[in-house]
Amino acid sequence: MTELLVQRKDGVLWLTIAREERRNAMSAAVVEGLTRQLQQANADRSLRAIVLTGAGEKAFCAGADLATGKSFKFDYSEPQQGFANLLRAAHATHLPLIARVNGACMAGGMGLLAMCDLAVAAPHARFGLPEVKVGVFPAQVLTVLQGLVGRRALADLCITGEPMDAQQALAIGLINEVAEDLDAAVGKLLARILDKSPAAIRRGLYLMKHLDGLPFAQSMAFTESQIGLFALTEDAAEGQAAFREKRAPNWSGK
């Protein structure tokens, strides 16, 4: 599909929303394409990470395409809807998801940002939840945003609808880094990931995502049941052997 560019390079899946003339707003085809790509990537052991970005330099994603007049019209006979299914697919993904925020990140675009594990932004990037300006509210986005930023900052974004700049987004923990050279920063981040154990990262992301919302007792019980499983992997044996032998590990990803 021409609205979503898909590229594989050196174990990394690059997904680019290619609707630059619409500020990379999400069409139904983009949402479906992203969902499908995440589901397929999760089962592909040759992939090590996924980078999500937008075409051009003006916008990462402006959210839903309001020009269609159908952005908030759903088939209510369906218990699950497209954008929510995309967020579900991201939550079920055990590959590191990296947001390359090349410009404006608004409304549903904030959901795309929040569903990613890591995020690097250009200095000119802007972030906001302007839904109240058109009479709606960022309902689904709240599910993935509320664990990222504090309650006060989130309330400000939601209730005022006013945007913040990249440095403010960095200060509240919405992104990991602001970089003048966005591609170089993403490349450095990928390099810090790709030399690590694929098995540990895959199981680790599963662990992290299942801890969301668990009270202390349940969280502790779940994590103590998981720690032994990490040690049973081939990567764990190889990593410890490499440490003892003072050499670089040769990961199998198993």
Q: Measured at the alpha carbon of residue 107, what is the angle toward residues 99 and 61, in degrees to the nearest 5?
A: 45
Point out which residues pair with 126 in neighbouring strands: 165
- Greatest Cα pair distance, the chain, in angstroms, is 63
253 phi and psi angles, rounded to 5 deg: 80, 10
Q: Which residues are tagged catalytic?
A: 131
Question: Which residue type sits at 177?
Answer: E
Cα–chain center distance at 60: 13
Six-digit token string for 143: 């599910």
Cα–chain center distance at 41: 14
In contact, 63 and 26? CB cutoff 8 Å: yes
What are the C-alpha distances in Å from 163 to residues 122, 134, 171, 172?
Answer: 15, 15, 14, 13
Please tell me the distance from the alpha carbon of residue 219 to that of residue 213, in angstroms, as a whole number: 9
